[in-house]
């Protein structure tokens, strides 16, 4: 597609519920990133994929967070047993590998845990 | 970990005025990026800087990569109402790498309001 597409745009989850957030990167982009943006803050790195390989997951805040990209295109960020502190906008971005410019972000999924 | 200090946090300016915002880091970055984020949208890249001392323009926007590699500034000239939004600086330690992380560290943003 023309841009990075994320779904759903909004998600309300009850505390303890599992959620899955989807990202469709720009076609041909081998690098994919997930960022978490709390209200009033800048985005913070969660994890990075190159094709299907998860090369860096150092930003995932706990073992309740899990990301996958099994075929090197669509990615899913899963959060198990959601907590209120998980409420944030989750941004996905993609880029061409080995090219030095800022990558393209999607519009994000706003997760609210109640 | 690395932190970016971005200032000012917010600005209210009259349409037509020039704007300046800056970002400083506790450690060296080899790439500096400036993004703009509108409500409900993801950040959009405005300017990318790759060399210390580099000065780059994009229309009414000008950004510079500090000589120490620990700071950058963004100027907007002759502001217009559509400049309203939140501006983020972001830094990356690796200028170019065929492999490895492209992780960005973001500042907390400068919220710009333009009074017509």
Kindly report, residue by residue over A65-93, the tens digit of the pLDDT: 999 999 999 999 999 999 999 999 999 99
Q: Is the peptide bond before A5 cis (omega within 30 degrees of 0)?
A: no
* Measured distance CA(A41)–CA(B16) in Å, rounded: 28
Mutation choice for B interface testing from A50, A54, A88, A102 by most B CBs within 10 A: A102
Residue B101 gets the label, from left (phi > 0), alpha (psi -120 to 50) or beta, of beta
With CB atoms and an 8 Å threshold, state whether A102 touches B45.
yes
User: How close B114 gets to chain A, by Cα (Å)?
Assistant: 19
Kindly report, residue by residue over A15-52, the tens digit of the pLDDT: 999 999 999 999 989 899 999 999 999 999 999 998 99
Of A48, A50, A91, the CB nearest to B103: A48
Residue B97 reports pLDDT greater than 60: no
Per-residue confidence band for B99, with pLDDT thresholds at 50, 70 and 90: very low
Chain A residue at shortest CA distance from B49 = A101
CB B114 within 8 A of CB B80: yes
């Amino acid at each position: 597609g023309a841009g990075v597409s994320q779904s759903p745009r909004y998600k309300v989850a009850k505390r303890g519920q599992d959620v899955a957030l989807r990202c469709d990167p720009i076609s041909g982009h081998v690098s994919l990133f997930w960022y978490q943006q709390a209200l009033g803050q800048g985005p913070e790195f969660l994890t990075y994929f190159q094709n299907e390989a998860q090369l860096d997951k150092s930003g995932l805040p706990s073992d309740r967070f899990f990301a996958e990209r099994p075929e090197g295109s669509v990615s899913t960020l899963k959060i198990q047993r959601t907590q209120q502190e998980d409420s944030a906008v989750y941004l996905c971005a993609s880029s061409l590998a080995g090219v030095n410019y800022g990558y393209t972000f999607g519009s994000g999924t706003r997760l609210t845990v109640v | 970990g690395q932190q970016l200090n971005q200032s000012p946090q917010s600005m209210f300016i009259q349409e037509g005025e020039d704007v300046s915002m800056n970002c400083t880091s506790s450690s060296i970055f080899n790439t500096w990026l400036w993004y703009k984020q509108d409500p409900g949208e993801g950040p959009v890249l405005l300017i990318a800087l790759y060399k210390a001392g580099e000065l780059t323009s994009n229309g009414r926007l000008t950004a510079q990569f500090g000589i120490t590699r620990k700071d950058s500034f963004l100027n907007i000239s002759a502001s217009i109402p559509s400049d309203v939004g939140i501006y983020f600086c972001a830094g990356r330690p690796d200028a170019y790498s065929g492999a490895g992380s492209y992780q960005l560290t973001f500042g907390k943003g400068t919220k710009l309001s333009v009074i017509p």
